Amino acid sequence: MSRITVSTLQKMKDAGEKISTITAYDASFARQFDNAGIHAMLIGDSLGMVLQGQSDTLPVTVEDICYHTSCVRNGVDNALVIADLPFMSYATPEQTYANSAKLMQAGANMVKLEGGAWLYDTVRGLVDRSVPVCGHLGLTPQSVNVFGGFKVQGRDSDKAQQMIDHAKGLEQAGIQLLVLECIPTELAKAITDAVSIPTIGIGAGNVTDGQILVMHDALGISFGKIPKFSRNFLAETGNIEKAVELYINDVNTGAFPGPEHSFS
């Protein structure tokens, strides 16, 4: 497989091919995922919960993400590497530019940030400065205290329309990829149809252009309850390599996520 770029993902969406992505935090797992044919890996601020044992993602720092991005980059030959901008690391455009530079220099091909209309100018500034951007709408974990917990978003018609508008606005500002988390399948379909860039779902049904899972959830090694939208692929295969291959295959065929992993 040749190196995956944002152009590759766009061509996949245009051709109706599904995009498989997963979180990664070190070189060894990154190598496994890359060899299996994963299209993109996210160094997510989820590392605060699955690696550090925090109750949410808020304590994660830019330095944490940079370190793990560097590790993942050392294990990747082909997949697109995306790095999260953690909580309050992109409160102003200037702060965002400086922190994005750190992530790109650590090995990221793209940065990801959470939010809607308030980020339009920041996204434009990043794109003007040659930084590819992935957006994130729906359940944005950095807003957990505003939401009052990890809850499905967009069930109210006004909130759903606002999310569609934000997706369009982010695309116009220049994002090239959009993560949709914990939203009703019907809304995920409406957003995917409303934008021309690829959408990546997690708890958004199988109507998005691709899927992402936290690797610890996909392999059943998270402590605590595995989210409704996840599936333990390792339990089904007994082998990490085969588990990742099954995940990629089931994303590609639309078998994952099923109705039992989705929200209405």
Residues that constitute the known binding site: 45-46, 84, 112, 114
Cα(174)–Cα(168) distance, rounded to whole angstroms?
Answer: 10
Helices 157-173 & 120-128, crossing angle to 10 degrees? 20
Cα(188)–Cα(203) distance, rounded to whole angstroms?
Answer: 10
Residue set of the binding site for 3-methyl-2-oxobutanoate: 45-46, 84, 112
Which of 181, 236, 241, 245 is catalytic? The answer is 181
User: In sequence order, what E strands does the chain have?
Assistant: 19-23, 40-43, 80-84, 110-112, 133-138, 177-181, 199-202, 210-213
- Which residues, at least 6 apart from 30, have a Cβ–Cβ distance to it below 8 Å? 24, 41, 71, 72, 73, 74, 75, 76, 79
Does the annotation mark 186 as catalytic? no
Residue set of the binding site for Mg(2+): 45, 84, 114
162 is written with which tokens?
A: 């606002």
Question: Which residues participate in catalysis according to the annotation?
Answer: 181
